[in-house]
Amino acid sequence: MHTQVVIIGAGPAGLLLSHLLANDGVDAVIVESRSRAYVEKRIRAGILESSSVELLESAGVGERLRKEGMEHRGIYLQWPGHRHKFDFVDLVGRGVWVYGQTEVTKDLGAARDADGQVTFYGASDVALHDVDSENPYVTFVDESGTGDRIDSQVIAGCDGFHGPSRASIDDATVMEREYPFAWLGVLADVAPSTDELIYAWHPDGFAMHSMRSHDVSRFYLQVDPGEDIGEWSDDRIWSELRKRLAHDDWDLQIGDITEKSVLPMRSFVCTPMRQGRLFLAGDSAHIVPPTGAKGLNLAIADVGLLAAALGSYLKTGSTELIDAYSDTALRRVWRCTHFSWWMTTTLHQHGDAFDDQLQLSQLRLLASSKAAAKGLAENYAGLPIGY
């Protein structure tokens, strides 16, 4: 089989890249190891920066988002006795959207169906070949058990943290930081008890109140990295959330918990994001702790750059944008890596009284200084694409 671009991975990065390329008249085939149903059901991110929404809309996949997504002006940061609202629209002129990654993936999958392009779901033994040649190719076994090969001009590694593409980057510089805590993520059929997301510092550990719709809420609790989810009954979860999110006469509504899981936390950056005709985008190249709501938005930003670069190269032969891709993408990657590290280290309990005082001082400064609040708003609401 021949195509212009083979994309490994049908998560948000792979699906968005294929759709942007199709809009640009470039042919792409996706090879994905999981089933479509599995990919579309995977519960992950919930926040889209306005630049992500603009890119999805420009690609023609923003209609349901605009209808069903929830536009948010900002967030609350809280610590015992204090809950402070940050209005990003007032501070920096833009807010964020609440729209689950599952919905983004479904919308992108539907767009790909309409593009009529080929996606191999359920592939195994996916391997990259000759990435430094002018004709790189991918081999795999399709879900019927038949061996396949796709020859191309470019391979896009959109296969996430555990995919094979990153291994093809020769002499990659990998920088990684593991955090001494994890998140217990909870999905519940209960209307949110707040209008904006609440990020809460608490002496017993971080907690967050997020949401997916007017009827479904999403919560996170700081736990130990090796936490056994079996130790967390629904009652224990609600009791801990009520304690850590408590504020004045505010009450947390509870409901049926439909999903709970422990999510690890790490920062990870692979440099460069290119090897010959192989380009990495999204989690295959970088991972951020979810505290800053940057993972999905970074994947979208990478893909916006990569789609333009590949379109220019494959249609005109110009290598200017593909040669600049890795350095340009990494500038935003490091900005978001720093912001996610800062949000994570500022809001999570380290079990150290000195750290507690530093963190509380930082939170008081954010609540009292417009300059400090603008810095938070600019990073959380997202920097313009191409930063």
Q: Is 45 in the site for ligand PHB (CB under 6 A)?
A: yes
DSSP 131-152: TTSSS-EEEEE-TTS-EEEEE-
Residue 282, phi then psi, degrees to nearest 5: 80, -150
Question: Quick one: which of 246, 250, 326 has its CA closest to 281?
Answer: 326
In the structure encoding, which two tokens stand for residue 375, read together?
């810095």
Q: Which does 150 bind (CB under 5 to 8 A by kind): ligand PHB, ligand FAS, none?
A: none
With CB under 6 A as the rule, give the number of residues binding ligand FAS: 33
Q: How far is the CB of 294 from ligand PHB (least distance, A)?
A: 8
Does residue 203 carry a catalytic annotation? no
Q: Is 295 in the site for ligand FAS (CB under 6 A)?
A: yes
Does residue 380 carry a catalytic annotation? yes
Does residue 38 carry a catalytic annotation? no
Does residue 289 carry a catalytic annotation? no
Residue 260, phi then psi, degrees to nearest 5: -145, 140
Q: Is 8 in the site for ligand FAS (CB under 6 A)?
A: yes
Q: Using CB under 6 A, which of 11, 14, 46, 382 touches ligand PHB?
A: 46
Q: Is 34 in the site for ligand FAS (CB under 6 A)?
A: yes
Does residue 99 carry a catalytic annotation? no
Q: Is 47 in the site for ligand PHB (CB under 6 A)?
A: yes
The stretch among 67-75, 282-290, 352-360, 362-370 that binds ligand FAS (CB under 6 A) is 282-290
Interaction with ligand PHB in 251-290: which residues (CB under 6 A)? 290
Q: Is 379 in the site for ligand FAS (CB under 6 A)?
A: no
Interaction with ligand PHB in 286-325: which residues (CB under 6 A)? 290-293
Q: Is 160 in the site for ligand FAS (CB under 6 A)?
A: yes
The stretch among 6-14, 56-64, 248-256, 364-372 that binds ligand FAS (CB under 6 A) is 6-14
The stretch among 15-23, 45-53, 271-279, 347-355 that binds ligand PHB (CB under 6 A) is 45-53
- At CA 296, angle to CA 293 and CA 299, rounded to 5? 135
Pairing of strands 154-157, 278-280: parallel
- At CA 50, angle to CA 49 and CA 53, rounded to 5? 95
In the structure encoding, which two tokens stand for residue 239, read together?
């009791």
Q: Which residue is nearest to ligand PHB (CB)?
A: 46
Catalytic residue selected from 199, 220, 313, 325: 199
In the structure encoding, which two tokens stand for residue 251, read together?
């009450």
CA distance 28 to 8: 10
Q: What DSSP state is assigned to residue 384?
A: P
Pairing of strands 266-271, 147-151: unpaired
Q: How far is the CB of 189 from ligand FAS (least distance, A)?
A: 19
DSSP 2-34: B-SEEEE--SHHHHHHHHHHHHTT--EEEE-SS
Q: Which helix (H) or strand (E) holds 71?
A: strand 70-72
> Which residues does residue 178 pair with via DSSP β-bridges, in sequence order?
266
Active site residues: 72, 199, 290, 294, 380
The site for ligand PHB (CB under 6 A) is made up of 45-47, 197, 210, 218, 290-293
